[in-house]
Amino acid sequence: MSKPKRPLRSDYKVFYPIDTRWSDNDIYGHVNNVTYYAYFDSAANRYLIEEGGLDINDGSVVGYVVSSGCDYHAPVAYPEGLEAGLRVDRLGGSSVQYGIAIFRRGEEEAAAHGHFVHVFVERAANRSVAVPTGLRAALEKILA
């Protein structure tokens, strides 16, 4: 199996700082693989809240994760400072696929990268809906 290409900072549109925590490390002394998914979730939702106006508490529309994946290139560990790079790889009628990479602060090559898919759902009916206008406009800004 061929090793996936290590993405560069220039491949991403928006960056958010991540402070690793002691509990992020596993018994092997590096950030555990499942923790990267929490980093992905935090980066995507922060963008939706800050740039798209997503109301996670009282909004009628929410984003449900339906797919995710991650390729790991280099270990990171607490207390390293990290950054999540975010872009939109695909914007559909009711869904979005983000491209997200985790970088050590100041490094050009990603330590890990992956994808994360949200389907937008009307909270009360629990059915998929079109990406709301404000969210769509924000997502289009970071479309790769």
Q: Which pLDDT score is estimated for 1?
A: 66
Q: Residue 24: inside a domain, yes or no?
A: yes
Other beta carbons less than 10 A from residue 34's beta carbon: 10
pTM (2 decimals)? 0.94
CATH number of the domain enclosing 66: 3.10.129.10
The answer to the question of residue 4 being in a domain is: no
pLDDT in tens, 77-113: 999 999 999 999 999 999 999 999 999 999 999 999 9
Element (H, E) at 40: helix 33-52
**What is the extent of the structural domain holding 84?**
9-141
Q: Is residue 118 included in any domain, yes or no?
A: yes
For residue 111, tell me if it sits in a domain.
yes
The number of folded domains in the chain is: 1
Q: Domain for residue 50, yes or no?
A: yes
Residue 3 located in a structural domain: no
Classify residue 2: in a domain, yes or no.
no
The reply to whether 1 falls in a domain is: no
- Residue 82: its pLDDT value, please? 98
pLDDT at 101: 98
